[in-house]
Structure 1
């Protein structure tokens, strides 16, 4: 199962990235545990300085932008 984390304060951009990630996961018919991390110290532990950020299985895939679901799909690993 994928572990997907959205890092950010919960602003509209963070919420949109989370929605886009969920859409990409559904389009690929994958199972994922999705968490929205808002704690600043946890965000910094990932080395992220710009939010929103997308983390999959512990790897930061993007930061500082809202990826569209079509752009997230190819970044997701095959299960």
Structure 2
């Protein structure tokens, strides 16, 4: 199981990023546990300068804007 954290204040883009991760996981048959981090101090400590940010298994893979679907699938496949 992959642990995914979506960093952001809860805006529409952050919610869309979470939905992208869940949809890609379903498509690939990958089991994920998605959590959201909305605390600004924790977002900054994770190295996210622009939201939404996405971390997979403790590694920050994206920050700022919505990622490409192909990128999300590649991150989950690795």
- TM-score normalised by L of structure 1: 0.90
Contact 1:23-1:69 at 8 Å conserved across structures: no
Q: How big is the shift at 1:64?
A: 0.3
Match of 1:47 in 2: 47
Q: What corresponds to 2:74 in structure 1?
A: 74
Let me know the Cα RMSD of the aligned residues.
Answer: 1.2
What secondary structure, in the 3-state scheme, does the structure 1 residue paired with 2:4 have? strand
| 1:38-74 alpha-carbon deviations (Å, 9 max, x no partner) | 0111111111111001110011111001114333001
Q: Which runs of 5+ in 2 are unaligned?
A: none
After TM superposition, the runs of 4+ consecutive aligned structure 1 residues lying more than 2 A away are 68-71
User: What is the DSSP-based 3-state SS (H/G/I as helix, E as strand, rest coil) of the residue aligned with 1:13?
Assistant: helix
Give the total of aligned pairs.
78
Distance (Å, rounded) in 1 between the aligned partners of 2:54 and 2:21: 8
Query: What's the offset of the Cα at 1:28?
Result: 1.0
Structure that is richer in helix per residue: 2
**Which residue of the partner structure matches residue 17 of structure 1?**
17
Asked whether the equivalents of residues 3 and 32 of structure 2 are also in contact (C-alpha less than 8 Å), the reply is: yes
